Amino acid sequence: MSELASEAVRIGTVVPVEVDGHDFVIWRGDGGTLGSAPSWCPHLDWDLGEGRVVGDELVCAGHGWSFDCAGHAFKRTELGRVDPKDDIETLRVEEADGVITATR
- Residue 65's DSSP bridge partners are 75
Rounded to 5°, the CA angle 77-69-71 comes to 75
To which H or E segment does residue 24 belong?
Answer: strand 22-28
Residue 52 binds to ligand FES (criterion: CB under 6 A): no
Residue 36 Cβ vs ligand FES, minimum distance, rounded to whole Å: 16
Binding string, residues 25-44; x marks residues near ligand FES by CB under 6 A: ----------------x-xx
Residue 46 Cβ vs ligand FES, minimum distance, rounded to whole Å: 3
Residue 1 Cβ vs ligand FES, minimum distance, rounded to whole Å: 27
Which of 19-27, 31-39, 55-63, 76-84 is the region at the interface with ligand FES (rule: CB under 6 A)?
A: 55-63
CA distance 29 to 63: 20
Residue 98 Cβ vs ligand FES, minimum distance, rounded to whole Å: 32
Residues that bind ligand FES (CB under 6 A): 41, 43-44, 46, 60, 62-65
